[in-house]
Structure 1
């Protein structure tokens, strides 16, 4: 899409803050007006729009994408289906399947994954059984029910974060830990990519693998910034 506006700016609106393009309120793909609770988030989104050149590249506007997803999806009739998808990931979660070997990789996985499973158990009483190897293990039905309840009770922002992070990492556990503030983007990245990073260290750099890792890191960083700004935090040049 060609750029159709000259100026993007954040500003106040009834009930919160919005982004305006040449004075017109930004709308989501489903035509809902964009409204957020934080002036800093509105300003950061406006900066994304202001940075567009001749063509609008939506992939270069992660905060805008997250906010539009939150508005269009998190409180919609699709929410129940999206909740169920997160629970489906939890039933065969990445962090429950440790490698058989080598020992160094297993140790890294245990160091990164076991604290997340421990937090989920301590905080919510959710017990997921980790195993070694790829043989599927049936997780306790009551634990999956508890995860379903946790997801259903997330507010719109944290649900959006959980839904996106689940898809990016393949782990509902990592997603819930990040959405709840237990871990940030860096720890989520380490937990999600421990296998790939280990393989790169062992066998050397691979351009395709590295690009995938950079994409994961970028998406997780955007989610972290989104959650921070939703709470009223101030954006920084390096954030």
Structure 2
């Protein structure tokens, strides 16, 4: 699929439901504390180089840096040189008027990677390194998110690729062991390992759908890793074969930073590391993954109906989370 077409499909749910998501997420975000961790991608500040001591005045750049304000401080515009972002790139807040006219890409200064330019400013990371992206395709996709921003304000929640890029460049390199550890802690409770009970008429339909849709994925896991997954019906999970656990962990350790960021994002959104790895390995496409993640809930919707302002927003949010991570994964790979 062409880049422009895939990117359009990724961002389309945001455009269609932006006002609904913005209201819901901006309300929820008011109770979220801001992070003081410079490696965190949850809070950022735009600033000019003259805001920082020792910065070269002739180096026209725009920084993304950790917000040092306390959780009780206002996140509104502070002065003419900086504007604080909300606690997350996924909030529906507007952080200030668009301050640039043109978005372009160029080869990074060291010739290794690509940079995004907002007019004459080079986009930088929280630790003030250039936001250097591995491929031109990914740089253009991130640039498209900035180009899409409206004149009345920048909406970070419509920039999932930018968020993933910051995560891959800043958080993953310094917390890689912890990310892998957290993924493996949840592995035994993976969504695809849990089965509906066989001895109840209320769950027969769910079980039949799981056998039809999920069993082919489990067969792939066995052929890919040489170990058959263990299924369970307990909500507390089960215990997978140590050989399968080790094989999955070894795979995660071999990923690069962009790959691990994408896998982590998909596993968190879909409650399934197996589904994330299947997308990573090319076994599942986006629509197939969404169908498996929402299998039980979609059955409930078929039976009882869809709740407007609830199910539809959840579906759009999940679609963007999975799609953006899958697009990010594909675009970050050097062909």
TM score, norm. by length of structure 1: 0.89
* 1:127-146 matches, cutoff 5 A: 127-134=228-235, 136-146=237-247
Report the equivalent of 1:109. 210
Partner of 2:129: 32
Contact kept, 8 Å, 1:32 with 1:71, in 2: the verdict is: no
Higher relative contact order (CA 8 A, sep 6+): 1
Q: Pairwise mapping of residues 1-239 of structure 1 onto structure 2 (< 5 A)?
A: 1-2=95-96, 3-13=98-108, 14-53=111-150, 54-74=152-172, 76-100=173-197, 101-134=202-235, 136-207=237-308, 208-231=310-333
User: Any unmatched runs of 5+ in structure 2?
Assistant: 1-94
Give, in whole Å, the separation in 1 of the partners of 2:205 and 2:127.
48
Q: Give the Cα–Cα distance (whole angstroms) in 2 for the partners of residues 202 and 220 of structure 1.
A: 25
Change (3 A) 1:126 1:165: farther
Could you say which residue in structure 2 is the equivalent of 1:236? Answer: none
| Alignment RMSD (CA, Å) | 1.8
1:213, distance to aligned residue in structure 2 (A):
1.5
Contact map agreement 1:90 1:172 (CA 8 A) in 2: yes
TM-score normalised by L of structure 2: 0.65
Please say which structure displays the higher CA radius of gyration.
2
Give distance in 2, aligned partners of 1:107 and 1:31.
Answer: 53
SS of equivalent to 1:132: coil
Counterpart-to-counterpart distance in 2, 1:85 and 1:26: 30
Please state whether the residue corresponding to 1:19 is helix, strand or coil. strand
What's the counterpart of residue 58 of structure 2? none
Tell me: CA distance 1:44–1:136, structure 2 relative to 1, closer, same or farther (3 Å).
closer
State the match for 1:237 in structure 2. Answer: none
Kept in 1: contact 2:103–2:143 (CA 8 A) = yes
1:131 match: secondary structure: coil
Counterparts of 1:119 and 1:32 in 2: how far apart (Å)? 41
Give the stretch that moved more between structures: 1-10 or 77-86: 1-10
Q: What is the deviation of 1:204?
A: 0.7
The count of aligned residue pairs is 232
Q: Can you list the C-alpha shifts for 1:185-234, whole angstroms capped at 9, x where unaligned?
A: 1111111110111100010111212211221012111122212222368x
Deviation of the 1:19 alpha carbon? 0.5
Task: Give the secondary-structure state (helix, strand or coil) at the position aligned to 2:294.
Answer: helix
Residue segments in structure 1 that go unaligned for 5+ positions in a row: 234-239
Deviation at 1:60, TM superposition (A): 0.3
Matched-pair contact (CA < 8 Å) for 2:263–2:325: no
Post-superposition offset of 1:31: 2.7
Q: Distance in 1 between matches of 2:236 and 2:143?
A: 48
Equivalent pair of 1:7/1:21 in contact (CA under 8 Å)? yes
CA deviations on 1:135-163 (whole Å, 9 max, x unpaired) are 53222223212221111111222211110
